[in-house]
Amino acid sequence: MKINLANIKKAQKLLNKRECIAIPTETVYGLAGNAYSDIACKKIFKIKKRPKNNPLIIHYYNQKNLLKDCNLNDNFMKLYKNLCPGPITFILDLKKRSKISRIATNKKKTLAVRFPKHPVTRQLLKRLNFPLAAPSANPSSRISAVCSTDIIDDFGKKIKFILEGGKSKIGVESTIIDVREKPKILRLGGLEISKIEKILKKKIIISNNPSKISAPGQLRVHYSPGLPIRLNVRNSKNDEAYLLIKKRKKNKSNFYFLSKKGDLVEAAKNLYSVLREIRKSKYKSIAVEQIPNKGLGKTINDRLIRASKF
């Protein structure tokens, strides 16, 4: 996509004034503010109605800029060299003299950091003299935004400026990995775990896999399209939307497919936009066929399981 420098400069100006704006990333759109400013970070929580105890991911241009705020280690360096910029978020120890807002971290001694790949946001980050705190640009507990119209649908004029960047290429949030000691995945996301395992040459534990949680009450509702969802459904009812992993030869009017041929990367990319399309339709509930639990299918299942607790 063509980069519009005037828009990037406008974004920079607003961020310098501690305003919040929406920014494109390869995963989903973010609601960004100066991560060193309490005022900017408070605005992010307020606009999203995000609980104060849910800390924000901080976005950097490169590893050099991160040195001021975090202690780095070998695992981080290996993954950074091979996968960044990209859809991976690292949990690291925060340095004592870091200026990151304590509103952003909820006073935690660790920091979630990421290096987004989208060329527009990379240009913006390069021009700023602070990193960006940026959770996903959606009301708390709802599905993320993958294009600017999603943000307008969700927030109207509440967000001062949307930096246009087209449709997000990956379409689901970043994979979060705690790399402080024995690496472990805290959130499944747009980067397949097998890629991380290949680089670190070991099996990685997943410590937040909702499919392993048996009591429904343990699950936090998240990624909700605002409609009830039934999972692993073989035959849908006619009055519910039926979400399919691939297009069928005989499509009924209530069928919505995530990819033409069942490709899981394509399906992850389309997940949120198809759920939003269903929300705008006449259907008041969603049935989902079984999605293969491998590669990005694991991330799709993670989001659908959480969404089904609505």
Subset of 134-153 contacting Mg ion (CB under 5 A): 136
> For ligand AMP, what does the binding mask look like between residues 237 and 276, x meaning CB under 6 A?
----------------------------------------
Closer to ligand AMP at the Cβ: 94 or 244? 94
Instruction: Residue 186: count other Cβ atoms within 10 Å of its Cβ.
Output: 15
Could you say which of 91, 268, 271, 278 contacts ligand AMP (CB under 6 A)?
Answer: 91
**Which range in 6-14, 132-140, 226-234, 279-287 contacts Mg ion by CB under 5 A?**
132-140
Q: Cis ω on the peptide bond leading into residue 87 (within 30° of 0)? A: no
**Which range in 38-46, 60-68, 107-115, 283-291 contacts ligand AMP by CB under 6 A?**
107-115
Number of amino acids touching ligand AMP (CB under 6 A) = 14
Could you say which of 23, 88, 112, 300 contacts ligand AMP (CB under 6 A)?
Answer: 112
Residue 47 CB, shortest distance to ligand AMP, in Å, is 12
Closest to 116 measured CA to CA, from 26, 235, 17: 26
| CA end-to-end span of the chain | 36
97: left (phi over 0), alpha (psi -120 to 50) or beta: alpha
Which residue number is nearest to Mg ion in terms of Cβ? 136
Cross-strand bridge partners of residue 64: none
Residue 136 CB, shortest distance to ligand AMP, in Å, is 4
Which of ligand AMP, Mg ion, none is residue 142 near (CB under 5 to 8 Å by kind)? Answer: none
> For ligand AMP, what does the binding mask look like between residues 26 and 65, x meaning CB under 6 A?
----------------------------xx-x--------
128: left (phi over 0), alpha (psi -120 to 50) or beta: beta
3-state secondary structure 247-291: CCCCCCCCEEEEECCCCHHHHHHHHHHHHHHHHHCCCCCEEECCC
Number of amino acids touching Mg ion (CB under 5 A) = 1
- Strands 30-34 and 132-133, bridge-based pairing: antiparallel
Cβ atoms 174, 191 nearer than 8 A: yes
Name the site residues for Mg ion (rule: CB under 5 A): 136
Give the residues lining the site for ligand AMP (CB under 6 A). 54-55, 57, 91, 108, 110-112, 135-136, 173, 176, 186-187
